[in-house]
Structure 1
């Protein structure tokens, strides 16, 4: 049925777990409860998720690295009745009131532009996404999904695991994130599609030997720097990109990525609106249940959605918009720069200022980078402040919060 690292689990293993869950009252009657789940055993988490989905219950997955007090706080914030922490046998009761609604998959937004918020999706909407996704993704049942991202989030859980099972393939779920181990698994499954974050894809691309090539790779979550993409494209048979949000799951797929801004074509069950190339606007998604305002700016060209920036990431310099991705791509083209993030700082007198943090192989002075940028950017786009760091801070999901980095008033 599927692998988790090197262990194979069959349908018999899954049914044995279902039988076990039937002996535990709060699981057997899960249609009456909202269950928060934070389990280190990823087979137990997956089998429990499938069981709750089958029974029509509600589940809130929490990343297994979350400390107990943090998991209790998160579970309470989404009105969970029970928290299953580390073991299904020792549930923590948080509320005695039974649920009176339909079963849902509960997710938290990424929190890149503010406090994460609770998102609820019906199992019917998840089924609708899986059907549309498998029909749109240009691969067959012979291609193995290798999922090197958390399966407590919709990217790994729905696009990775559930969609793979839907098309009759046996997914390989990776919990051992050692790059050497992951490269070995990719060699063992040459006909693969790899689901991972841009940062992990870049790391694998740098560490692989010259003879190893990737088959299909899927990137999502944040736009990959152009420099990383050019290198990855040379190493891969095909680079794909998908775009989505917690409220709708996967929204678009780009089947053959040529420009990192290409988010791709909308899945058939969704309607997507945005601006045009000369006047980008907020990307708006319409599902069968609701309208979603994404806070992403983009445009549609010949049916394809292209990304420009997050609304909250755009920097207004004296009335002129600066898009961080454009500035980052220029800085990354300096061969000494390994990673960069461009963000804004608020200044009491002059308003928003363009700033940058970077990781480099050798010491680099701010004046050197300023001179480099002046060859490609307008003066208002050039960062006023460059800071060299050993590592750029990231959220637990691997994304960068420009808002958090730039949250200093100067």
Structure 2
């Protein structure tokens, strides 16, 4: 039914695992209880989620690298009754407060600020997402999902694993982060759609042998630099992109992305509104049960949703909006630059100004960078400050907080 690295698990294996869960009272009686799970056994994690969902319980996934004290703190902040840490046979009781709500999947989201927030999604809403996702995803049951991202996150678990099972294909879950191992698994499963983060996809595209191509790849989580996307398209039969948020899961899918800001077509169970290309606005998502104000800036044209920036990250230079991704794409095209992040700083006299940190093979003369930017950008888009760094600081979830990089421009 699915692989975890090189190990294949059948329906019979899952049924045997369920029998073990049924023999343990703290699992058998999980209805209306919230169980936090931190385990390095991916097969056990997935079957636990499916079993708890079937029982009417709730799941709080915790990343496998989290230490015990951190897992206890995380589980407690999410209102968990029990923490299963490394083993299903021993557990930590955290609360005996009754819980009569419908079973949920809990996700902790840090967004761009780093401040955690607890997101609860009912299993019925997850089911609705899966049905809608499978309906719009342009792949068939012969295409296996290669999931090279954490299954404790909804991107890997819902879109990579559960949606794959629903369409009758086989998930191949990879926990070995060695790029050569991932390329080996892709070659073993030539009919595939690879789920991974943009940075990993780009790394794999650079290591891919000249005589090998990706079948299909899916990118999500953060906007891929345009030159990375161009490179990936050259090595792939098809590059897809999806956009979503913790509160609703996947919102839109692009079946063949050429422009990295184009997120694609909204899923049929959602209503998505945004601004126009001339006047971008906040992306708002409406489901049957809630309205989500994403604080993402974008627009819809020809039914395709485009994402420009987080509203908090947009830089207002003398009344003119600057979207960081546009400036980053120009800088990333400069031959010596490996990575760049654009953010705003406040100037006490002239307001917000564009600044950049960049990683390069060597420091670059600022005038050289300014002249490069002048070839492609309007004057208000050109950074006032260029800072060479050996590494751009990232949050624990791998994302960059432009807010933390900002400050006052002296």
TM-score, normalization by structure 2: 0.97
- Alignment match, 2:138: 138
Per the alignment, residue 108 of structure 2 pairs with 108
Matched, 1:252 2:252: yes
Partner residue, 2:186: 186
SS of 2:101's partner is coil
Query: What does 1:7-406 align with in structure 2 at a 5 Å threshold?
Result: 7-406=7-406
Q: Deviations over 1:254-310 (max 9, x none)?
A: 001121111111111100001111111000000111000111111111111111111
Please, which runs of 5 or more residues in structure 1 have no aligned partner?
none
Unpaired runs of 5+ in structure 2? none
User: How many correspondences in the alignment?
Assistant: 410
Tell whether the 8 Å contact from 1:358 to 1:388 is kept in structure 2 after alignment. Answer: yes
Quote the Cα distance in structure 2 between the aligned partners of 1:10 and 1:103. Answer: 26
Following the alignment from structure 1 to structure 2, what is the Cα–Cα distance between the partners of residues 141 and 38? 31
Given that 1:110 and 1:116 are in contact with CA atoms closer than 8 Å, whether structure 2 keeps it comes out as yes
CA RMSD of aligned residues (A): 1.3
1:55, 1:375 → 2: CA distance?
61
Q: CA deviation at 1:409?
A: 7.1
Asked whether the 8 Å contact 1:26–1:33 carries over to 2, the reply is no
* SS of residue paired to 1:12: helix
Contact (CA 8 Å) 2:244, 2:252: kept in 1 or not? yes
Cα distance in structure 1, aligned partners of 2:239 and 2:348: 44
The answer to whether the 8 A contact 2:114-2:395 is kept is no
Tell me, what secondary structure is at the counterpart of 1:31?
coil
CA distance in 2, matches of 1:307, 1:4: 34
User: Which is further off, 139-148 or 368-377?
Assistant: 368-377
Separation in 2, partners of 1:24, 1:353: 59
**In 2: Cα distance, 1:47 partner to 1:404 partner:** 39
Give yes or no for contact 2:348–2:408 (8 Å, CA) kept in 1: no
Q: How much has 1:371 moved relative to structure 2? A: 1.7
Deviations 1:342-368 (A, max 9, x none): 111234443322111111123312222
Task: Give distance in 1, aligned partners of 2:115 and 2:321.
Answer: 25
Question: Hey, what's the Cα distance between the residues in 1 that align with 2:65 and 2:346?
Answer: 34
TM-score normalized with structure 1 length: 0.97
User: Distance between the aligned counterparts of 1:74 and 1:352, measured in 2?
Assistant: 36
CA distance in 1, matches of 2:409, 2:21: 53
Q: Deviations over 1:326-351 (max 9, x none)?
A: 00011111111111111112344433
| C-alpha deviation, 1:32, in angstroms | 2.6
Partners of 1:113 and 1:312 within 8 A in 2: no
